[in-house]
């Protein structure tokens, strides 16, 4: 019998009215079982100038987070260039290719999704969502941007994640939301 990996779930980022916020729930699951309810899936890098969130295998995500930080240092803290270089390595390196995680990274201006297939995506609508509850969170944030533009990016992330937690059994209400330092 193969051991199941611990997986972390829903991450949501929003850029709205010049603000950026990135948040995640706290649930980690092993198969259909909640392994932990207060995992911290949001991390700050470069004195808070970059905020990252991860979904997928927790150990794999930490490996990628370390590699991303190395790329940031190697490329003069240029987030987009570091993301592209990480995605290249992730796609071509035999060890990294086996890692099962995704990341959302944000600075004060933009959001990027980095996937294990070598993709670096800039979301068209300035909403980035990954993890098992991502489609619920993204749908909620999209509706909020359209119908409640007076809300802040942080409020949209909080409400989007809360709606996802109400619907998705792999997402909980233990939310952590961060904003990149200006």
Question: 165 labelled as ligand-binding?
Answer: yes
Pair 160, 141: CB distance under 8 Å:
yes
User: What is the value of pTM for the model shown?
Assistant: 0.93
* pLDDT score at 2: 54
Pair 78, 85: CB distance under 8 Å:
no
* pLDDT score at 62: 84
* Three-class SS state of 13: strand
* Three-class SS state of 79: helix
Q: Burial letters for 82-99: b for 16+ Cβ neighbours within 10 Å, e otherwise?
A: bbbbbbebbeeeeebeeb
Pair 12, 138: CB distance under 8 Å:
yes
Q: Which of 118, 115, 119, 126 is nearest to 55 (CA)?
A: 115
Give the H or E element holding residue 155. helix 153-167
CA distance 156 to 138: 10
CB-based contacts of 168, cutoff 8 Å, min separation 6: 9, 10, 132, 133, 136
By DSSP bridging, strand 50-57 and strand 6-8 are antiparallel
CA distance 34 to 105: 26
* Sign of torsion over alpha carbons 89, 70, 12, 166: positive
Question: 168 labelled as ligand-binding?
Answer: yes
* Orientation angle between helical segments 58-74 and 79-92, nearest 10 degrees: 130
Give the H or E element holding residue 148. none
Please give the structure tokens belonging to residue 40: 């911290």
**CATH code reported for the domain at 6-175:** 3.60.20.10
Residues marked active site are found at 9
* pLDDT score at 3: 57
pLDDT tens digit at each of 182 positions of the chain? 455 666 667 999 999 999 999 999 999 888 888 989 999 999 999 999 999 999 887 778 888 889 899 999 999 999 999 999 998 888 777 766 677 788 999 999 999 999 877 789 999 899 999 999 999 999 999 999 999 999 999 999 999 999 999 999 999 999 999 999 98
Q: Residue ranges per domain, the chain? A: 6-175
């Amino acid at each position: 019998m193969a051991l199941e990996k611990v997986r972390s779930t829903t991450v949501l980022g929003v850029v709205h009215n010049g603000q950026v916020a990135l948040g995640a729930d706290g649930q980690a699951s092993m198969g259909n079982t909640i392994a932990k309810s207060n995992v911290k899936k949001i991390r700050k890098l470069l004195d808070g100038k970059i905020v990252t969130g991860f979904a997928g295998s927790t150990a794999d995500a930490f490996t990628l987070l370390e590699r991303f930080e190395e790329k940031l240092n190697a490329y003069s803290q240029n987030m987009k260039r570091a993301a592209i270089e990480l995605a290249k390595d992730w796609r071509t390196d035999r060890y990294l290719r086996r890692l099962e995680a995704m990341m959302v990274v944000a600075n004060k201006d933009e959001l990027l999704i980095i996937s294990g297939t070598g993709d670096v995506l800039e979301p068209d609508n300035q909403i980035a969502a990954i993890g098992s509850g991502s489609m619920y969170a993204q749908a909620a944030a999209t509706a909020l941007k359209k119908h409640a533009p007076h809300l802040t990016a942080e409020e949209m992330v909080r409400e989007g994640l809360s709606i996802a937690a109400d619907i998705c059994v792999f997402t909980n209400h233990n939310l952590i939301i961060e904003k990149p330092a200006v």
